[in-house]
Structure 1
Amino acid sequence: MEKINVSAIMTVKNGSRYLESSLSSIFSQTYPPQEIVVVNDGSDDDTWEVLEKLRCTAPIPITTVNTEGIGRSKALNLAVNHARHPWLANIDADDKWLPKKLEQQAVAVSLFPEAEVVVTESHIVYGEEAGNLTDEGVFSVTPMGRESFYVRNPINHSSIIFSRNFLEQVGGYDETLVRQVDIDLWIRALKKGYIFYRVDLPLTIKRLHDGQSFEVGNRLGYTFNSFKISLKKLWQLQAPFYYFPVPFVKFFYNNIPRGIRRWLVK
């Protein structure tokens, strides 16, 4: 397997609740990154104190950047600018990686030298829920083009690694956006003809909790913005016309209380 040098990047705002858990999952990688860059984007809780404490004892070098609150997109671009290595792996401060996550993605890069974006499947947990999650399974990789994005966003932002060249070619994160900056990046990449490669194992843990803006008095605004982005996505990716009712159905579904949605999923 050809070695790739990876910088893990993270932005956090008022995220001390899960910060140690998230960073510990990076420390536990069987194929660890060479560094971690964390941008504290104007937290007014104890995020900075927790971060500095962890930095002093971390087995991987951590670069910390403190801002007064510049917004998610600018914070992500700032993290990228402070990172030193040619591959970048994002992780949100409330998510986790399973131990073989980066290792399996490095294998995928070796098998597909043309790949500049590699993601994984994800587990979804709620709040403190953990369960017996595993990264074991049969390794396989699926290329994903624009048709994979018609119905939903199939990429958990915390699962992605991408080359610095990819980000430069696509233009980085759009600093005019305040929400859902990842799907905007995917759309621009797909329009340029990029293919996303997915490791078909759930190696990333996406955590949903009541501290997220989606659930804290802003659900309607968040889902309406998602609705608009979904319609824009279908238009820009030139999807067949029969996909266009999907955003309407998802908008109504996402405004059902979480408890009912979880019941429906089960």
Structure 2
Amino acid sequence: MSRPEPLISVIIPTYNYAHLLPRALNSVFQQMAEDVELIVVNDGSRDNTGEVLAAYQRQQIQGFRVEHQVNAGAAAARNSGIRLARGRFALLLDADDELLPGALSCLREVLAHNPEAGLVLGAQVSVYPDGRERIRLPTPVTNTHSPCELTRRYLLEKKISISHCCTLFRRDLLLQRPYPESLRTGEDVPVFAYLLVNALVVTTARPLARIHKHSDSLRHNREDEEVVAQRMVREVFAGLPHECQQLRRQYEAQRYLSLFRAAVLGGDREAAKRFYWHALELHPYQALRWSYLRKALRLLGRGTRNRR
């Protein structure tokens, strides 16, 4: 007898996380049910991820599937899992994180009370390298806000936070707006922005996942940084309605200010100056915020002293 169509598809993209993957897998297997499926996409791992997955496959766990692909990045792995999934909703769990006990039951209950939900934001437990833990509650989202206001609050004011592992997505919306595979970092931002303005958002204060923070984040990679920033802006606004396009220059300025900050930290004065002036041209209000202006004045001051 075939299994019924699942309600929730848990999708785990993984690359070289064989040593941590069992923790993520076990956190899902402990709460598997007939309306849950688990799909792991092995994105061309070079460690023993394949062996770890083969050992689980030999257990013939119902609802568990593995897909192996040539390394193509996190966005491509997530898209593969979403296309393979059968559930109405998808939860994308990172291979180095874990679901908390009862997370899927909680989501099932939330959906029972909010059948039209397109995005469910839950709380999370952030775990830091030194062992500290902090509970982060989801940001309340008022669905009466206009798409423009929601976009502003998410992209510019950082008042809405969305994270994988503690967020449930309606899968058809993810199929409408796949993760941009041209981005190797920050690929979630265009997707989250799209869903935020196209879905009914509900929240739960119940912590759904433990998210482990690492110091070796790809976000510190400055290779082709300006090209990546421009691509990010294009991808984000390609999926947003016309009324949101008025925010594009301000968001682009913010991306350049992020490049400016990274260049300052990296000691690259010339790049820092160029990034700051470009941000100033794009959106003076954004660039003249004191946190950025202070760094720019300090940078210019050092340049004047050096010329003397």
TM-score norm. by structure 1 comes to: 0.73
Deviation at 1:200, TM superposition (A): 2.6
Identity %: 22
Query: Where does residue 89 of structure 1 map in the other structure?
Result: 91
Out of 169, 177, 195, the position equivalent to 1:162 is 169
| Alpha-carbon distance in structure 1 between the residues aligned to 2:130 and 2:109 | 31
| Alpha-carbon distance in structure 2 between the residues aligned to 1:56 and 1:128 | 36
| Alpha-carbon distance in structure 1 between the residues aligned to 2:64 and 2:18 | 16
Query: Where does residue 7 of structure 1 map in the other structure?
Result: 9
Q: Verify: 1:199 aligned to 2:201, yes or no.
A: no
| Alpha-carbon distance in structure 1 between the residues aligned to 2:237 and 2:83 | 31
Matched position secondary structure for 1:199: strand
- Summarize the Cα distance change of 1:200–1:222 in structure 2 as closer, same or farther, 3 Å threshold: farther
Out of 158, 178, 185, the position equivalent to 1:179 is 185
- Summarize the Cα distance change of 1:128–1:4 in structure 2 as closer, same or farther, 3 Å threshold: farther
Deviation at 1:56, TM superposition (A): 2.9
| Alpha-carbon distance in structure 1 between the residues aligned to 2:13 and 2:63 | 16
Query: Where does residue 69 of structure 1 map in the other structure?
Result: 71
Deviation at 1:227, TM superposition (A): 9.3
Query: Where does residue 262 of structure 1 map in the other structure?
Result: none
Moved over 4 A (4+): 30-33, 139-144, 221-236, 238-251, 253-257
Matched position secondary structure for 2:110: helix
| Alpha-carbon distance in structure 1 between the residues aligned to 2:181 and 2:35 | 26
- Give 2:118's aligned amino acid: E
Matched position secondary structure for 1:162: strand
Query: Where does residue 112 of structure 1 map in the other structure?
Result: 114
Deviation at 1:161, TM superposition (A): 1.6
Whether the 8 Å CA contact 2:75–2:184 is kept in 1: the answer is: yes
| Matching of residues 220-235 of structure 1 within 5 Å | 220-221=222-223, 225=228, 229=232
Higher relative CO (CA 8 A, sep ≥ 6), structure 1 or 2? 1
Deviation at 1:166, TM superposition (A): 1.9
Deviation at 1:228, TM superposition (A): 7.7
- Summarize the Cα distance change of 1:255–1:195 in structure 2 as closer, same or farther, 3 Å threshold: farther
- Summarize the Cα distance change of 1:177–1:245 in structure 2 as closer, same or farther, 3 Å threshold: closer
| Alpha-carbon distance in structure 2 between the residues aligned to 1:249 and 1:65 | 39
Query: Where does residue 279 of structure 2 map in the other structure?
Result: none
Query: Where does residue 37 of structure 2 map in the other structure?
Result: 35
TM-score norm. by structure 2 comes to: 0.64
Number of residues of Structure 1 aligned to a counterpart in Structure 2: 247
Matched position secondary structure for 2:206: strand
| Alpha-carbon distance in structure 1 between the residues aligned to 2:95 and 2:63 | 17
Unaligned runs of 5+ in 2: 144-149, 267-308
Matched position secondary structure for 1:16: coil
Deviation at 1:222, TM superposition (A): 9.4
Query: Where does residue 102 of structure 2 map in the other structure?
Result: 100
Deviation at 1:41, TM superposition (A): 0.5
